[in-house]
Amino acid sequence: QQPVQSPQAVILREGEDAVINCSSSKALYSVHWYRQKHGEAPVFLMILLKGGEQKGHEKISASFNEKKQQSSLYLTASQLSYSGTYFCGTRRSGNTGKLIFGQGTTLQVKP
Amino acid sequence: DTGVSQDPRHKITKRGQNVTFRCDPISEHNRLYWYRQTLGQGPEFLTYFQNEAQLEKSRLLSDRFSAERPKGSFSTLEIQRTEQGDSAMYLCASAQGADSPLHFGNGTRLTVT
């Protein structure tokens, strides 16, 4: 089942902060975050695993609430380069590896 | 690490024709995924492999779609009797394990006329 992302779109000024949320109705084992710029392939940002392990870029911050099956991606002091569409991908507990992506959150950072 | 490569980049075909796409993953990656993406939507899962074994195929996929990964290296995705609704970007990604980052190729854009 597809995870739900919110908000659908965000417009920021450079230096402002944003939070993107991802929630699932199913028990999750891991949550991935990717960013896709127009006309390009999605690029990996971070993986959060059940139990607290995280893998990803040092400048990216995210959380995974295992009780609520929710993850949040924190974008602080936004830069123009942060613009793009952010996708969360979720792997359900007990599944061997299928990753299902949400519908995306479009972020636009203006000067 | 030469990245994931997909061929062709673009494919225009007439309705009813068969098409085949190729994906070459990063060489040491044992997992290979196929996704389909339409404008404004997230990547839609199609199928994935661990080595040469196809572990799961989306129930949304009709029997017109088939994928193979012989010898656990490159993979092909075939669509038979294409329909206009098949028009989309077809993305391939590879990974080193179940919870490793997916590395995406640049995709094959299919247009069915």
pLDDT tens, residue by residue, A18-41: 999 999 999 889 999 999 999 999
Confidence class for position B2, pLDDT limits 50, 70, 90: confident
Phi, psi angles (nearest 5°) of residue B3: 85, 175
CB B113 within 8 A of CB B11: no
Nearest residue of B to residue A8 by CA position? B40
Contact A95, B50 (CB under 8 A): no
Nearest to B13 by CA among B74, B78, B70, B84: B84
Model confidence band, residue A56 (pLDDT cutoffs 50, 70, 90): confident
Show Cβ contacts of residue B64 under 8 Å, excluding neighbours closer than 6 positions: B79, B80, B81, B82, B83
pLDDT tens readout for residues B70-113: 988 999 999 999 999 999 999 999 999 878 999 999 999 999 99
> A39-56 burial, b for 16+ CB within 10 Å, e for fewer?
eebbebbbbbbeeeeeeb
B99 and A49 in contact by Cβ < 8 A?
Answer: yes
What number is the average pLDDT over the span A81-105?
Answer: 91
Q: A89–B44: do the CB atoms touch at under 8 Å?
A: no
Mutate to test the interface with B, among A101, A103, A105 (most CBs of B within 10 A): A101
Closest-CA residue of A relative to B91 is A41
Residue B106 at interface with chain A, using a CB cutoff of 8 Å? yes
Residue A109 makes CB contacts below 8 A (sequence gap 6+) with A12, A13, A14, A16, A78, A79, A80, A81, A82, A83
Nearest CB to A99; choose among B102, B103, B106: B102
Rounded Cα–Cα distance for residues A12 and A109 (Å): 5
Mutate to test the interface with B, among A86, A99, A100, A106 (most CBs of B within 10 A): A99
pLDDT at A24: 94
Beta-bridge partner residues of B79 = B19, B65
CB pair distance less than 8 Å for A91 and B98: yes
Shortest CA gap A103–chain B (Å): 5
- B31 contact A CB<8A: yes
Task: Determine the Cα–Cα distance for residues A66 and A85; give it in Å rounded to an integer.
Answer: 24
Question: What percent of chain B is modeled with pLDDT above 90?
Answer: 84
- Cβ-Cβ contacts under 8 Å, A1 against chain B: none
Strand order, beta sheet including B5-7 = B5-7, B19-24, B75-79, B65-68
Return d(Cα B76, Cα B8) in angstroms, integer: 11
